[in-house]
Amino acid sequence: MSDEPHVLLRTEGCAGFVTLNRPRAINALTHAMVRRIDEALTRWEDDPAVETVVIEGAGERGLCAGGDIRAIHADARAGGTASADFWRDEYRLNARIARYRKPYVALMDGIVMGGGVGVSAHGSVRVVTERSRVAMPETGIGFVPDVGGTYLLGRAPGELGAHLALTGTPVGAADALLVGLADHFVPSEDLPALAAELTRTPAREAVAAFARTAPPGVLEERRAWLDSCYAADTVEAVVERLFEAGTPEAKETATTLLAKSPTALKTTLAAIRRARRADSLETVLNMEFRLSCAALASADLVEGIRAQVVDKDREPRWSPATLAEVTDEDVARYFAAPPGGDLGLSAPA
């Protein structure tokens, strides 16, 4: 397995298959993987034999757990530019997927987080299963939702997107459908048959034949207090409302927020609200590139990855340590142009 490419490409019938192939890392994305996916999309876009593109993950654990954050950690500690170079190509790929001229079917089985959302949830046909756990968990490592995550979550009903962006809470199939991260539920045991059908049948027709009703989620029944609490003007006010909402789930949510990077929380709330007003995905990706580059130079990203992934002590020492210490100026700096220049994506005319 170690000698195989980290992205496997094959065509079968009328479909081109992209298989993310780092199962031991839950198919976490590297820069080389992003380039290979992009090259495949280029090759297949004008190939009349390929009518549908399908992306899937190798192994049993998930489609993709995100970017290779150990590599990002090393780059941030060294003051390098490799992560910014990676994001530049990754975000361009996200935009390309969203504009792809052929059906792009994402089989979002198992863990789909961070960069995994970027290569799936911008697709035109997005399939989740009872095993799906979809999340943008960036605030827990001192980062901000990227790969167009603020664009997707900014368009979720009410304040559900803000809740998911700030807490990083993974959602199952029904909730992924509710917030607009997926389109169809298919039982995981039917995915091999669906993949086979996609080789001979138009994508939407094939998926419709296998789609079922998802098991119930939890967000709809919590909408009232989530919408009320996250409508507050500041993160501090959101937390206060959650503690006062009168339900155990709301109190637990407040406690969850207080464990995240205070700077990341305030920046994420500002980003979600800007993304809601944005005129295109490309505009939001340009913004997120600024946020990511600023985070790369921050203490919290290095510390967050250390605590969660490297040392695994789960005790990050955020700087600033509290929401009250994070100023408007601190947040504004995340939205400034990065030293290496902007992403510069433009929406198609």
Q: Among all residues, which ones are annotated catalytic?
A: 67, 115, 138, 146
Query: Which two three-digit tokens encode residue 98?
Result: 């969203």
Distances 256 to 84, 86, 167, 262 between C-alpha atoms, Å: 29, 30, 7, 12
Q: What CA–CA distance (Å, rounded) separates 134 from 144?
A: 16
User: Position of tokens 């290979």?
Assistant: 36
Residues contacting 119, CB < 8 A, separation 6+: 20, 29, 37, 55, 64, 93, 94, 97, 106, 147
Phi and psi of 182, rounded to 5°?
A: -150, 165
Half-sphere exposure in the Cβ direction for 84 (13 Å, CA): 20
Q: What CA–CA distance (Å, rounded) separates 60 from 57?
A: 8
Taking phi over 0 as left and psi of -120 to 50 as alpha, with beta for the rest, 10 belongs to beta
20: helix, coil or strand? strand
DSSP letter string, 295-346: HHTSHHHHHHHIIIIIS-------SS-SGGG--HHHHHHHTSPPTT------
Residues making up the chain, counted from first to last: 349
Phi and psi of 168, rounded to 5°?
A: 75, 15
DSSP letter string, 75-132: HHHHT-SHHHHHHHHHHHHHHHHHH-SS-EEEEE-BEEETHHHHTTTTSSEEEE-TT-
Q: What CA–CA distance (Å, rounded) separates 118 from 151?
A: 11
Choose among 28, 16, 94: nearest CA to 6. 28
Distance of CA 33 to the CA centre of its chain: 16
